[in-house]
Chains A and B, each alone.
Chain A
Amino acid sequence: MESFVLIKQVPDQSSKAGINSDGTIDRAKAKRMLNPFDRYALEAALQTKRQHGARVTAITMGPPPAMEILYEAIAHGADRGILMTDRRLAASDTLATAYTLAQTVRYAGSPDLIFCGLQTTDGDTAQVGPQLAERLGIPQVTYCEAFEIRDGILLARRAIEGGSQTVTVSLPALVTVANSAQRLAYQTLRGARRVQHLMRDEAARAEVIQIINLDDVGADPERCGLKGSPTIVAATEKVGEIGGNCQVFQGQSVPSLVKSLREAASISSYIGAG
């Protein structure tokens, strides 16, 4: 069985480094990390390895430093990595990204399952997974919280408004993993040693991690990057700080708070007139 997991390196928004004064990100300076949602996707892929002996391939698209997250995936137990990197990918929107990833997935093999994080913390769209599934012509299960594979059928539970839904679907399929799924376990000792080895030995690395570009996967550059992106960010505006006039009750002043709430006409109907 073949499981692919698509991961992305994103700026760490909790670190001040690389955040410009206007709130935009200086990607060269920003601290980088594995997209938090992708940690759940990676764990899901590793689950198929533990339970069904799947071979796990981690795929990322991004500038060369994105290699770091492939190492991270391997340290956790992924078998191999693929880095799609090309200058012509700059300014890709989700449509262009999904096109490039579809070409990359086809190049890398025919997976039974493709796992994606629910969304990224930089783009925040949750669109690339479903767009990739459409391009590959396979069904998708989004917002997946838990799953099992039985006789080649995926049985999955997904979150929906106010509840959940259990579905079955035949493979191949694409799954986007919600953050209520299983957390990523610790790196394995074996995985960490393997990464140390790969970092030292270039020949060994080339066998495990492939670095590829648009030409390798036969992608049409016109459909990638800026050219292939039907949307652009035309303007940004800083969201102003809102200065509240909070009425603060210090310490043990609950009775006075509740009294004030009862007196406020707009609230009193919800808590009774007192």
Chain B
Amino acid sequence: MVQKRVLIFAEQVNGELQPIGLELLGSGRLLADKLGATLSALVLGSNIAHLSSTLIGHGADEVFLADHPELAQYRTLPYRRVITDLIKSWPQPPHIILLGSTTTGRDLAPRLAAYLETGLTADCTELDIGPFEYSNSKDPSKSGLFPNCLYAIRPSFGESLKARILGPWKNPQMATVRPGVMVPLAWNGSRRGEVFQVPVQLDPSDLSLQIVETVRNLSQAIDLTRAEVIVSGGYGLGSPEGFELMEQLAACFPNSAVGSSRKAVDSGWIPYAHQVGQTGKTVRPQIYIACGISGAIQHRVGMDKSQTIIAINKDSSAPIFKFAHYGIVGDLYQVVPEMIRQLQQGQPQPQASPSERIPVLQGQ
């Protein structure tokens, strides 16, 4: 019997696996077990051999490594070429392919899906396997009972609905998955797996895009999805200067970062990289402090898995008080400075050094 595969794309940056890869493995393991399939992890990069044991320890049955200097940093076309060449070399396409809905995954997945002429569901928050019976008089060719479908579940209509998207008519069935939602399996050093080298053959046309510079302000530190405490500012800040206050509050905690609502981003007060929510990042820190944020559903979905939510808002009927754990009704410009004073009082605070936190970038 031909091998059935669930393939996950594991992102690496400077030879370091990104958390999304392990999250995809956690979710992929469940799917592969239900399907009786092999869970395969694919990594592209340069000098990445050391990553395979991590991937196997976190659930992969096999790891495909494409190791080549031109693949050191992610670029759409070389990555697209290597992955589609690999898939074409197999006797049948993978049953399922999963990527993260990161800037990389959302750049790459649609190109793969278009090349493979298959369906792709964006930004899923739940995945499962199940049967699907379908008949449609307008398109009878699609009718039938499909036993092992990917249930790709994603929020829709401004997050008021969960939609289950199916596409069993073509393989692979593909989805991108929100970072921070799926739970990685615990490391198990006794797991065994196979490692394969992927041949890399690039066409000159794949190299038309050159990277001039990559700036990762957070590379040695943490990013929003890894911060343990997030202080987020919304439209209630009233001006970009409000984010300086957010920075000061964040500085009261170790491993902290500054987030924001979309309205603050759209107002040009803080760069998009800080946006939390449906069209921003999904975060689940230990503590999330929302200052001047109403708690719109599109913001909520990005942060409601936070361990403890603290809301500061002058409107006692703001929706955020419906799901926060602690709330203060009051003007943030009075509350936050007092909070900073209280937090600093009495004990030596482990002040986070600025490099450990996400700096607020100004301007374009």
Asked if A pairs with B, the answer is: yes
Hey, which chain B residues are within 8 Å of A43, CB to CB?
none
The chain B residue sitting closest to A122, CB to CB, is: B157
Q: Of the candidates B321, B326, B349, which one forms a contact with A272 in the assembled complex, judged by CB atoms under 8 Å apart? A: B349
* Chain A CB within 10 Å, residue with most, of B104, B114, B167, B223: B114
Count of inter-chain pairs, beta carbons less than 8 A = 278
Whether the Cβ atoms of A159 and B325 lie closer than 8 Å is no
Q: Of the candidates A161, A244, A274, which one forms a contact with B103 in the assembled complex, judged by CB atoms under 8 Å apart? A: A161
Hey, which chain A residues are within 8 Å of B88, CB to CB?
none
Q: Give the residues from 302 to 356 in chain B that come closer than 8 angstroms, CB to CB, to chain A.
A: 304, 307-308, 310-311, 316, 321-330, 334-335, 338-339, 342-343, 346-347, 349-350
Whether the Cβ atoms of A155 and B164 lie closer than 8 Å is no
Whether the Cβ atoms of A13 and B158 lie closer than 8 Å is yes
- Which of B37-45, B63-71, B131-139 is found at the contact surface with chain A? B131-139
Q: Give the residues from 233 to 274 in chain A that come closer than 8 angstroms, CB to CB, to chain B.
A: 233-239, 241-244, 246-255, 257-258, 260-261, 264, 266-267, 270-274
Whether the Cβ atoms of B156 and A124 lie closer than 8 Å is yes
Whether the Cβ atoms of B132 and A234 lie closer than 8 Å is yes
Q: Of the candidates B119, B156, B339, B346, which one forms a contact with A236 in the assembled complex, judged by CB atoms under 8 Å apart? A: B156
Hey, which chain B residues are within 8 Å of A160, CB to CB?
103-104, 214, 216
A187 proximal to B (CB < 8 A): no
Whether the Cβ atoms of A242 and B323 lie closer than 8 Å is yes
- Which of A92-100, A105-113, A190-198, A211-219 is found at the contact surface with chain B? A92-100
Whether the Cβ atoms of B136 and A257 lie closer than 8 Å is no
Q: Interface residues of A toward B: which range?
A: 35 or more
Hey, which chain A residues are within 8 Å of B216, CB to CB?
160-163
B162 proximal to A (CB < 8 A): yes
A210 proximal to B (CB < 8 A): no
Hey, which chain A residues are within 8 Å of B213, CB to CB?
165-166
Hey, which chain A residues are within 8 Å of B123, CB to CB?
124-125
Could you tell me the distance between the alpha carbons of A61 and B278 in the complex, rounded to whole angstroms?
25
The chain A residue sitting closest to B298, CB to CB, is: A13
- Which of B48-56, B189-197, B204-212 is found at the contact surface with chain A? B204-212
Hey, which chain B residues are within 8 Å of A167, CB to CB?
209-212
The chain A residue sitting closest to B320, CB to CB, is: A246
Whether the Cβ atoms of B219 and A162 lie closer than 8 Å is yes
The chain A residue sitting closest to B364, CB to CB, is: A146
- Which of A62-70, A71-79, A199-207, A223-231 is found at the contact surface with chain B? A223-231
Q: Is the interface of A mostly helix, strand, loop or mixed?
A: mixed
Whether the Cβ atoms of B321 and A246 lie closer than 8 Å is yes
B187 proximal to A (CB < 8 A): no
Asked if A95 meets B328 with Cβ closer than 8 Å, knowing A135-B114, A140-B76, A239-B160, the reply is no
Closest chain-B Cβ to A155's Cβ sits at a distance in Å of 7
Could you tell me the distance between the alpha carbons of A162 and B215 in the complex, rounded to whole angstroms?
8
Hey, which chain A residues are within 8 Å of B120, CB to CB?
94-95, 125, 127, 231
0 or 1 for each of A154-188: is its CB under 8 Å from B? (1 = yes): 01001111111111111000000011111100000
A4 proximal to B (CB < 8 A): no
Whether the Cβ atoms of B328 and A257 lie closer than 8 Å is yes
Task: Count residues of B near A (Cβ-Cβ below 8 Å).
Answer: 102
Whether the Cβ atoms of B114 and A95 lie closer than 8 Å is yes
Hey, which chain B residues are within 8 Å of A134, CB to CB?
80, 110-111, 114-115
Asked if A239 meets B328 with Cβ closer than 8 Å, knowing A95-B117, A227-B139, A232-B166, the reply is no
The chain A residue sitting closest to B273, CB to CB, is: A159
Asked if A139 meets B110 with Cβ closer than 8 Å, knowing A94-B120, A227-B139, A246-B322, the reply is no
Whether the Cβ atoms of B215 and A164 lie closer than 8 Å is yes
Asked if A226 meets B163 with Cβ closer than 8 Å, knowing A178-B272, A258-B339, A264-B308, the reply is no
Could you tell me the distance between the alpha carbons of A254 and B224 in the complex, rounded to whole angstroms?
26
Could you tell me the distance between the alpha carbons of A94 and B107 in the complex, rounded to whole angstroms?
14
Could you tell me the distance between the alpha carbons of A254 and B123 in the complex, rounded to whole angstroms?
38
A24 proximal to B (CB < 8 A): yes
The chain B residue sitting closest to A232, CB to CB, is: B166
Hey, which chain B residues are within 8 Å of A5, CB to CB?
none
Asked if A23 meets B343 with Cβ closer than 8 Å, knowing A134-B110, A161-B103, the reply is no
Closest chain-A Cβ to B352's Cβ sits at a distance in Å of 11
B165 proximal to A (CB < 8 A): yes
B12 proximal to A (CB < 8 A): no
> A residues within 8 Å of B by Cβ?
13, 22-25, 93-95, 98, 119, 121-122, 124-131, 133-135, 139-143, 145-146, 155, 158-170, 178-183, 226-227, 229-239, 241-244, 246-255, 257-258, 260-261, 264, 266-267, 270-274
12 contacts between A and B (CB under 8 A): A124-B278, A125-B122, A159-B271, A159-B272, A160-B104, A162-B224, A180-B265, A182-B364, A233-B156, A236-B164, A238-B160, A250-B316
